[in-house]
Amino acid sequence: MDNIQFYIKEHKSRFINELIELLKIPSISADPTYKNEVLKTASAIEESLKKAGCDKVEICETEGYPIVYGEKIIDDKLPTVLVYGHYDVQPADPINLWHSPPFDPIIKKTETHPEGAIFARGACDDKGQMYMHVKALEFMTTSNQLPCNVKFMIEGEEEVGSRNLGVFVKNNREKLKNDVILISDTGMIANTTPSITTGLRGLSYVEVEVTGPNRDLHSGLYGGAVANPINILTKMIASLHDEHNRITIPGFYDKVETLSKEERAEMAKAPFNLENYKNALDIEAVYGEAGYSTNERNSIRPTLDVNGIWGGYTGEGAKTVIASKAYAKISMRLVPNQDWEEISDQFKTHFENSAPHGVKVKVTPHHGGQGYVTPMDSVGYKAASKAYEATFGKTPIPQRSGGSIPIVALFEKELNSKTILMGFGLDSDAIHSPNEHFGVFNFLKGIETIPYFYKYFVELSK
Amino acid sequence: MDNIQFYIKEHKSRFINELIELLKIPSISADPTYKNEVLKTASAIEESLKKAGCDKVEICETEGYPIVYGEKIIDDKLPTVLVYGHYDVQPADPINLWHSPPFDPIIKKTETHPEGAIFARGACDDKGQMYMHVKALEFMTTSNQLPCNVKFMIEGEEEVGSRNLGVFVKNNREKLKNDVILISDTGMIANTTPSITTGLRGLSYVEVEVTGPNRDLHSGLYGGAVANPINILTKMIASLHDEHNRITIPGFYDKVETLSKEERAEMAKAPFNLENYKNALDIEAVYGEAGYSTNERNSIRPTLDVNGIWGGYTGEGAKTVIASKAYAKISMRLVPNQDWEEISDQFKTHFENSAPHGVKVKVTPHHGGQGYVTPMDSVGYKAASKAYEATFGKTPIPQRSGGSIPIVALFEKELNSKTILMGFGLDSDAIHSPNEHFGVFNFLKGIETIPYFYKYFVELSK
């Protein structure tokens, strides 16, 4: 890759400013209030792909937010890389915990990012990481070094479960035909320790509603005599874990992949310092399934977490009320072989059956997806590994992630190709949290590394 | 009481309109946003007491909202009745469940109230019931039938635990000197079944906060590896009741008054239809402490209810987050002999100790108060009973209430006099709930009954 470092140095400020403009648009797909902003972001992506050198760019309508598709086909006989990313972002709340407005990006230096990091919702997840691919393409087209065909598929509903992407993929198998899928929507261990994500967890996300009396009641007059939906909900949620922090849903662990002692020993070699981990989170102790290490708990083991709970009076002061309804949002991270639809069904059946008389329970599955494992002997993995070596000077460590990109399993099924997860974010980048950020180093290193992937992928495919 | 029925018939529309004007002011003491409205309500009460014939009316400042004091002293040698009530109201949320705006009162007929009921926040609790006393005084002064001295003490912080009333009472023992305290802030069994509340439960209201990691985390990357404050909070709350729905806080039941078989048999005679009760609330089954009936559970037994819970993402759609903090508001209703401060301490100690490593727990007591029992052989009780007989044609049934008016125990301690709870509301009036209302029949019947209490109290005191 001739001149890539020089090109980045030359255009660095423009790259960052373009990303900042993109981050200013609050493309929150979960909240209908932001509909116009999400659509505006799709148009901005369309424009940027054209400028980067795509021959054909389309805004593809779906039943939800559109998918931006772009391509540059240089030779039908050459391999094709399909880049997937998303232009929507997580909601920004709790907004009061942001040190600067989430959609007014600023660059600040941090201990982890001495060269500065861009603070904004979506900086890392996924606008910043997705935009690295746009700028890498710009370099390759501008310098005439694009070694193969490239296709972009950038969606706007990843944060709400990619509701319409599946249909789009099924209906456009020919258009999306490719030899490898490239995604930057994960992280790496550290800026000096590159890693490639080789496994993703699946996801089942449900919302539950517990209804007691048909109206809010005075807790003095009715307290102790009727089932209080909040008390019942806490009891039902608490019973989802046993004393070893194992999930109690019948059948939940039936298909969980069991790793061998050797595999676990191999995993345990990844650099990890428990004290640093606890200090970074300001917690006295870690917590989780008995018999597993922290790194195992958040990668090879399935989990169940409440993501939100609400009911009754939550304002200032005191209100002596028994609420009519209580709610929770609950998600389960799944490991390979667990089927998310089966798990959602198991949850629904178990949760509904665990309700006492006196309340009604409704379980609404939100969305989900299967887990995924990238084979390390695939051409794509090897190409990615060599690309990191070229720019970081180190062989990246293969790593299972606790996160989920539900659509990856579907890609393999429908498009019959492997996905390579080249993530450049760090765990400390606070994605999904207040003060999300993305290191300037990481952004630029991503732009530098991606063209090498193209180069090696074409070479190794021969 | 000459001409009371005639007087009410004559002035009925005016009485209702005056109450409606009072109900239009959103005097929500729990929410600082409404400060000016609360103060405006105090002035309106001051004005109404002057018009009703009080000789001296004062707005007494406190560290919180003021107490409106009024008196008409006709003869130092005659007995003195002290009327207590409150002009503040509960918050109106959930606002979307109101069929008409909470502070835009309307009169509608209902099955229980064929003569119409006034729908508004505070209609029954306590503006409507408090205003009956103002109008009863108006009748007695206008018709020259006031048989004794009367004092009014109307506060604006009852719904937030009467924070400053205790200090006021302690500092004004001479001014507040009385022979009996009269309160209408409870209910009766039915419009055809008058009853007098002879017992109130005590109250301990606390807020709890569980803190896990120092920021919201991505549930994929951290799920299963750190203590999730919401999951932990549900576990901690769930563990506050055992499988018999008994409260597990050590020492909680130590001082609970045990009723004899005979007393429980007497209580069981009160009219109660379980099917109607369940149908009215649209529940399939009642729920509560094993070994007790519904009426016992909500009167002679202590309880623990979550009044509000919140944490994490509660907006539309899905957010895969582990919240840094989770909160709940929890209240305990206490029975005679349980000391609310001791119980609050027991709760705090137990709750804090039940937290696992990996989270921090903070318990903040909000407010509380002792339970109370009115002796049925007191002059006040007898006078009230005769008053109901005079206007309803039936002897009222003595009844223990599940609710709390924490200040009643303090009145006895500081002012050394008994409190008589002449409530005219109904359980179905939805106090503290959306669509609170107060029957026009009940409002007028209260105004009619109160002067008889004065008459009999003076006669029986001789």
Give the residue from B310, B341, B369 where a domain finishes. B369
Contact between B306 and A234 using a beta-carbon 8 Å cutoff = yes
Partner B contacted by A399 (CB < 8 A): no
The letter for the amino acid at A51 is K
A-facing residues of B in 328-347 (CB < 8 A) are 328-329, 331, 333
B-facing residues of A in 127-146 (CB < 8 A) are none
Distance CA A90, CA B321 (A): 10
A288 within some domain: no
Same domain, A183 and A234: no
What is the ipTM for the molecules in this complex?
Answer: 0.77
Contact between A358 and B215 using a beta-carbon 8 Å cutoff = no
Six-digit token string for B333:
């209703």
The letter for the amino acid at B72 is K
Q: Exposed e or buried b for every residue in B180-195, given b needs 16+ CB within 10 A?
A: bbbbbbbbbbebeebb
Six-digit token string for B136:
């009863």
Same domain, B403 and B453: yes
> How confident is the model over B86-142, as pLDDT tens digits?
999 999 988 999 999 999 999 999 999 999 999 999 999 999 999 999 999 999 999
Same domain, B349 and B442: no
Give mean pLDDT in consecutive 10-residue pieces for chain A, a chain of 462 residues: 91 98 97 96 98 98 97 97 98 93 97 96 98 98 97 96 93 97 94 92 95 92 94 98 97 92 83 92 96 93 97 89 97 92 97 95 90 90 97 92 84 94 94 95 98 98 92
Beta-bridge mates of residue A303? A333
How many Cα atoms sit within 13 Å of A68 on the Cβ side?
A: 26
Same domain, B152 and B54: yes
CATH number at residue A435: 3.40.630.10
A139 within some domain: yes
Residues of B in contact with A90 (CB under 8 A): 319, 321
**Whole domain around residue B246: which residue ranges?**
203-256+302-369
Q: Rounded mean pLDDT of B146-169?
A: 95
A271 within some domain: no
Partner B contacted by A225 (CB < 8 A): yes
Output the DSSP codes for B325-372: EEEEEEEEEE-TT--HHHHHHHHHHHHHHTPPTT-EEEEEEEEEE--E
- Confidence band for B153, pLDDT divided at 50, 70 and 90: very high
Same domain, B212 and B338: yes
Optimal mutation site among B121, B125, B214, B222, interface A, most CBs of chain A within 10 A? B222
Residues of B in contact with A231 (CB under 8 A): 237-238, 241, 304-306
Same domain, B127 and B248: no
Instruction: Determine contact, residues B72/B54, Cβ cutoff 8 Å.
Output: yes
The letter for the amino acid at B119 is F
Give the residue from B369, B384, B400 where a domain finishes. B369
A268 within some domain: no
pLDDT at res. B242: 97
What's the pTM value of the predicted model, to 2 decimals?
0.78
Instruction: Determine contact, residues B438/B416, Cβ cutoff 8 Å.
Output: no
Same domain, A308 and A420: no
Cis peptide leading into A126, omega within 30 of 0? Answer: yes
Order of all β-strands in the sheet with A437-439: A106-108, A117-119, A437-439
Asked whether the predicted pLDDT for residue B78 surpasses 90, the reply is yes
Burial label for A32, CB within 10 Å (0-12, 13-18, 19+), is exposed
A105 within some domain: yes
Which of A231, A289, A321 is opposite residue B237, by nearest beta carbon? A231
């952004």: which residue's tokens? A443
pLDDT at res. A67: 98
pLDDT at res. B101: 97
Going by C-alpha positions, the residue among B122, B88, B109 that lies closest to residue B20 is B122
Asked whether the predicted pLDDT for residue B462 surpasses 80, the reply is yes
Q: How crowded is residue B294: how many other Cβ atoms within 10 Å of its Cβ?
A: 18
Contact between B433 and A333 using a beta-carbon 8 Å cutoff = no
pLDDT > 90: percent of chain B:
84
Chain A residue closest to B32 (CA)?
A316
Domains contained in chain A, number = 2
Same domain, B102 and B89: yes
A281 within some domain: no
pLDDT at res. B137: 98
A404 within some domain: yes
Same domain, A331 and A196: no
Partner A contacted by B300 (CB < 8 A): no
Distance CA A312, CA B314 (A): 13
Burial label for B393, CB within 10 Å (0-12, 13-18, 19+), is exposed
Optimal mutation site among B93, B119, B162, B234, interface A, most CBs of chain A within 10 A? B234
């662990």: which residue's tokens? A253
pLDDT at res. A259: 84
The CA dihedral of A209, A213, A215, A218, to the nearest 10 degrees, is -120
Beta-bridge mates of residue A241? A247
Going by C-alpha positions, the residue among B401, B377, B19, B6 that lies closest to residue B183 is B401
Six-digit token string for A434:
């207040």
Same domain, B215 and B98: no
pLDDT at res. B233: 98
pLDDT at res. B265: 87
pLDDT at res. B19: 98
CATH number at residue B334: 3.30.70.360
